[in-house]
Amino acid sequence: LVAGTVEKLIEKLTSEIDYEFLSDFFMTYRSFMSPVQLCKTLGARLKWAIDEGNENGKFIQLRTYSAIKHWLVFYFDYDYVPSRALRFTMINLLKDLQTRPELASSPDILKCVRDLYECYKREKKSSIKRNRNSTYDPHANQSFNSDMERKVTSNLQVKLRSPRQSQQSLKSFLLSYSTETIAQQFCIIEQRCLCAVEWHELIEVYWKDRTNENAVKKCGGVLAQIDRFNMMSQWVATEIVTLKSVEERARVIEKLIRIAMRCYQHRNYSTLLQMVLGLQSSSISRLTKTWSKVGSHEKRMLEELKEFTSPCKNWKNIREAMQKSSEDYKYLVWSKEPEEPVPTRLDAPMENEKNDCQMVGEACIPFFGKLLLDTCSSGTRNSN
């Protein structure tokens, strides 16, 4: 991606069936071109392919439609929601394509265009409902928490420049804050998201059918949790691959591993899973030169966290840890006098950055995916 020109990257994106490249491109393209610029470039590529009028042009059209649909489905909230100009450019492109006379003789291609238009409207409607139903707004105030949230997504909104220039100038904001501070902020964010989930959303299991408009209205909190989990895993990978320097990437990986360990110590199993999965993604695991620069202490920590978050035996380790946290919390509540409040220790100080085993707090932020899996299993048994 760094070595290629924008034209060649778009050509490869729309000429080959390479899903790994497709994922990497949309994860990193913002470092060398804006979303509006990408939309216009893909539109120009489509019109060129239509004018070609041969089998190769038809294949390029299909690949371009596939790329745009991937962009709409997975990155609508990141690119389209904050940019009115991008939404205007995309909707005009789709409307223009539907009126082109060349497509009248090709019903398959015309159907793809209409499906793309429906996909755009569906994602826009879903995004509006998610924003209405979610009580969490990362840009609502000027606190340190919101400042950090803006920086989490800052690498996704940069000005158009060449790939080489942009990669040399990018630096991760993670290195500017202490590990404990960032981990505490993630605990606060996840706690807010968790509180937005209503109990009836877990019981009724409406969130399994996103195509049902009434169902989406009733499970906004659950859908926000699912979307945030996926976004955070992608963000972890993006925060690493947008850096050019191998040494800088290694420092960020080490920082993310230490943050994940802090989340484990705070019993924030949601952020812990998000980070471990992001660090295990294909775009990160194949960076052999970068991993060779990562310290042995951090590598050992990551292996321990990977073992703890293993899905083997129905997430045995996480299930037991969540169960123990629940028992500890109930014991703490019943052992206190009625008028004495239950203390919260998310901000309790750590003794040492290298102290990997100390646990903080009595309650936990659960791995929400495990709760949903148990809910589905219970619902299936009850229906039978």
| pLDDT at residue 106 in the model | 75
349-373 in b/e form (b: 16+ CB < 10 A) is ebeeeeebeeebbbbbbbbbbbbbe
Which of 3-7, 100-104, 334-338, 359-363 has the lowest average pLDDT? 334-338
Q: Is 90 exceeded by the pLDDT of residue 197?
A: no
- Determine the distance from the C-alpha atom of residue 36 to the mean position of all C-alpha atoms in its chain, rounded to a whole number: 21
Joined tokens for residue 368: 């929400």
- CA pair distance 277, 232, nearest whole angstrom: 10
Joined tokens for residue 128: 């509006």
Sign for the pseudo-dihedral over CA of 83, 88, 91, 96: negative
The topology (CATH level 3) of 6-132 is Son of sevenless (SoS) protein; Chain S, domain 1 (1.20.870)
Joined tokens for residue 150: 């803006």
CB 19 within 8 A of CB 72: no
Joined tokens for residue 337: 């006098």
CB 276 within 8 A of CB 306: yes
Going by pLDDT thresholds of 50, 70 and 90, the confidence category of residue 184 is: very high
Mean pLDDT of all residues in the chain?
77
User: How much is the average pLDDT of 304-333?
Assistant: 79
- Determine the distance from the C-alpha atom of residue 180 to the mean position of all C-alpha atoms in its chain, rounded to a whole number: 22
Joined tokens for residue 10: 């778009």
CATH number of 172-335+361-380: 1.10.840.10
Residue 268, classed as helix, strand or coil, is strand
Residue 223 phi, psi dihedral angles, 5° rounding: -65, -35
User: How much is the average pLDDT of 204-229?
Assistant: 72
User: How much is the average pLDDT of 316-336?
Assistant: 67
| pLDDT at residue 259 in the model | 96
Q: How far apart are the first and last CA of the chain?
A: 51
- CA pair distance 242, 231, nearest whole angstrom: 16
Going by pLDDT thresholds of 50, 70 and 90, the confidence category of residue 105 is: confident
- CA pair distance 94, 89, nearest whole angstrom: 9
- Determine the distance from the C-alpha atom of residue 354 to the mean position of all C-alpha atoms in its chain, rounded to a whole number: 28
User: How much is the average pLDDT of 310-323?
Assistant: 86
CB 38 within 8 A of CB 86: no
- CA pair distance 275, 231, nearest whole angstrom: 11
User: How much is the average pLDDT of 110-133?
Assistant: 80
| pLDDT at residue 209 in the model | 65
CB 255 within 8 A of CB 212: no
Looking at beta carbons, which pairs linking 344-350 to residues 24 or more positions away fall under 8 Å? 346/184, 346/187, 346/188, 346/266, 347/184, 349/180, 350/180, 350/262, 350/265
Range list for CATH 1.20.870.10 in the chain: 6-132
Sign for the pseudo-dihedral over CA of 241, 136, 274, 218: negative
CB 236 within 8 A of CB 186: no
| pLDDT at residue 352 in the model | 42
CB 371 within 8 A of CB 277: no
| pLDDT at residue 150 in the model | 52
Q: Which of 12, 361, 365, 24 minimizes the C-alpha distance to 188?
A: 365
- CA pair distance 148, 154, nearest whole angstrom: 10
What's the per-residue H, E or C state across 56-106?
A: HHHHHHHHHHHHHHHHHHHHHHHHHCCCHHHHHHHHHHHHHHHCCHHHHHC
At 337-351, the pLDDT tens digits run: 343 333 333 334 444
CB 144 within 8 A of CB 185: yes
Q: Is 80 exceeded by the pLDDT of residue 358?
A: no
Joined tokens for residue 284: 């990160």
Q: Which of 146, 147, 345, 182 minimizes the C-alpha distance to 262?
A: 182
pTM: 0.51
Range list for CATH 1.10.840.10 in the chain: 172-335+361-380
Q: 142 or 175, which is more confident?
A: 175
Q: Is 90 exceeded by the pLDDT of residue 6?
A: no
Joined tokens for residue 96: 């223009």
